[in-house]
Chain A
Amino acid sequence: MEETVVLEEEALSLVGNGDARGKHRILAELARVEQEVTFLEQELEELDQADIVSTVCEELLFVIEKRPDPLLPLTNEPLDLGWDRWFEGPNGGEGCRCLIL
């Protein structure tokens, strides 16, 4: 869904009646839109320097594969014995089941 900048109906109707509040509102909205222009121009400039996606993917692959993960069947060291604590001692069948009334 594309964002579009729309002048508020209320502001338009107030302006039609020459209401000072409506003009103030338009001024504030105009300032916001003109600021948005500045920000978008900055973003376009930054994008010219941005890496292509494949460069980011290379980094992502490295980050993911270097970290030990207890939920993976195949993972890096170091392993932590604490990962298996869920299978030691009582399991869910013996836990507290009281209902809160």
Chain B
Amino acid sequence: MSVSELKERHAVATETVNNLRDRLRQRRLQLLDTDVARYSSAQGRTPVSFGATDLVCCRTLQGHTGKVYSLDWTPERNRIVSASQDGRLIVWNALTSQKTHAIKLPCAWVMTCAFSPNGQSVACGGLDSVCSIFSLSSTADKDGTVPVSRMLSGHRGYVSCCQYVPNEDAHLITSSGDQTCILWDVTTGLKTSVFGGEFQSGHTADVLSVSISGSNPNWFISGSCDSTARLWDTRAASRAVRTFHGHEGDVNTVKFFPDGYRFGTGSDDGTCRLYDIRTGHQLQVYQPHGDGENTPVTSIAFSVSGRLLFAGYASNNTCYVWDTLLGEVVLDLGLVQDSHKNRISCLGLSADGSALCTGSWDSNLKIWAFGGHRRVI
């Protein structure tokens, strides 16, 4: 086939793709008979009501000397690893506020950290384009330097996010500024699969966040500067299972819903959204009222039932607590006593859902829990 024939065929196929996408969009609109907030309100549900002293800051973890960029809890409840602009990972016992490890990183430009499922290792990545693994049983020198037990090299851009596959200490997924995600075998340091990249149907801009399903660890979601979130099956890396449109800016953060069949996103367009995996529907948009300008969402997390969506924003110390069913802000942790003094950059729930940890540009982490009178249905 001649080049001109190829070009013509490409143009025809391109137009077909664009027409199909339009048809998909129109068909989805026809199926969008309601959203979660309207449905729940019609079913008689009312917003969660917090008293002034219900959600309280019960710990402030001090020790970093720079902005906190990332945090992760252990599956066994009480320990947290945090990564900071100061070039360190700190491992905390959140219950006692004690630091158990302070690891000086070979590359100070860290963006993400994660605990292994067995709690014995931590992973981190950043502008060095490498994901480094440290064993917490290794001895640090007086400077806090710990030998890297494994380096996962292969990304061609910064490592924006990393997460271990649930219950698999040997597998970890990273997202990168090189537009791909990678599933790694930590024991060998080799790539198992690459998701996206040149000539594959993947993200078309930097990937900023990943979240792996707790109920089906073969699934993960990625969020990207191309304004989409994508669902991947690790058993079939050639293309995304589904692409989720709707956002009008970078998707900075993604998080699976507790049941594993929905997920949330947070974006530079100032909204959080809830999507359904099986149908692909956008179920709800969480958009703050007022202010005029849309403040980017930096991080999100769901409470253990999914009723609450915690969202950190890139202004002041705002951390909205959304009632996911009614689509309303029911609390701003930035207005609670002893709140952070700067932007909240990361947040996460403990494994049993009893505490929320927030990390901030004020260099602290804070633990929030319910200290009010709990009523049983």
Chain B, residue nearest A41 (CB): B20
* Min CB gap B39→A, angstroms: 4
Chain B contacts for A70, CB-based, 8 A: 304, 352-354, 369-370, 374
Q: Is the CB of A67 within 8 A of B9?
A: no
Q: Is the CB of A64 within 8 A of B32?
A: no
Chain A contacts for B32, CB-based, 8 A: 52-53
Chain B contacts for A33, CB-based, 8 A: 10, 13-14, 17
B231-269 residues at the A interface, CB under 8 angstroms: 239, 242, 245, 248, 258-259, 262
Chain A contacts for B88, CB-based, 8 A: 100
A67-89 residues at the B interface, CB under 8 angstroms: 67-77, 79-80, 82-87, 89
* Min CB gap A100→B, angstroms: 5
Contact with B along A5-42 (1 / 0, CB 8 A): 11100000001001000110011111111111101110
Chain B contacts for A54, CB-based, 8 A: 33-34, 39
Complex Cα distance A11/B164, Å?
Answer: 38
Given contacts A60-B262, A96-B99, contact A73 B63 (CB under 8 A): no
Complex Cα distance A35/B88, Å?
Answer: 45
Chain A, residue nearest B373 (CB): A73
Interface size on A, as a range, is 35 or more
Which of B6, B27, B248 is close to A23, meaning CB atoms less than 8 Å apart?
Answer: B6
Contact with A along B275-300 (1 / 0, CB 8 A): 01011110100000000000000000
Given contacts A40-B21, A43-B242, A82-B352, contact A53 B35 (CB under 8 A): yes
B31-65 residues at the A interface, CB under 8 angstroms: 31-36, 39-40, 43, 45, 48-51, 54-55, 57-65
Q: Is the CB of B86 within 8 A of A100?
A: yes
Q: Is the CB of A85 within 8 A of B95?
A: yes
Chain B contacts for A68, CB-based, 8 A: 304-305
Interface size on B, as a range, is 35 or more
Complex Cα distance A63/B283, Å?
Answer: 15
B371 interfacial by beta-carbon distance below 8 Å: yes
Complex Cα distance A17/B276, Å?
Answer: 48
Among A90, A97, A100, chain B packs the most CB atoms within 10 A around the CB of A100
Chain A contacts for B217, CB-based, 8 A: none
Complex Cα distance A40/B13, Å?
Answer: 12
* Min CB gap A37→B, angstroms: 5
Contact with A along B50-90 (1 / 0, CB 8 A): 11001101111111110000000000010000000010101
Chain A contacts for B40, CB-based, 8 A: 57, 61
Which of B61, B276, B324, B374 is close to A95, meaning CB atoms less than 8 Å apart?
Answer: B61
Which of B58, B61, B86, B353 is close to A71, meaning CB atoms less than 8 Å apart?
Answer: B353
Q: Is the CB of B39 within 8 A of A99?
A: no
Complex Cα distance A17/B345, Å?
Answer: 50
Q: Is the CB of B36 within 8 A of A74?
A: no
Residues of A within 8 A of B (CB): 1-7, 15, 18, 22-23, 26-37, 39-41, 43-44, 47-48, 50-54, 56-58, 60-61, 63-65, 67-77, 79-80, 82-87, 89-92, 94-101
The 7 nearest A-B residue pairs measured at CB: A95-B97, A69-B305, A57-B39, A40-B20, A86-B369, A67-B305, A92-B59
List 29 interface pairs A-B (beta carbons < 8 Å), by A numbering.
Answer: A1-B248, A3-B204, A3-B226, A26-B7, A30-B6, A33-B13, A40-B24, A43-B24, A44-B20, A47-B31, A51-B31, A53-B281, A56-B276, A56-B281, A64-B306, A67-B305, A70-B354, A73-B50, A73-B373, A73-B374, A75-B374, A87-B58, A92-B57, A95-B59, A95-B60, A96-B99, A98-B63, A99-B63, A100-B90
Given contacts A89-B95, A96-B99, 11 further A-B contacts (CB under 8 A): A1-B227, A5-B18, A50-B279, A53-B279, A69-B303, A72-B308, A74-B377, A75-B376, A92-B60, A96-B63, A96-B98
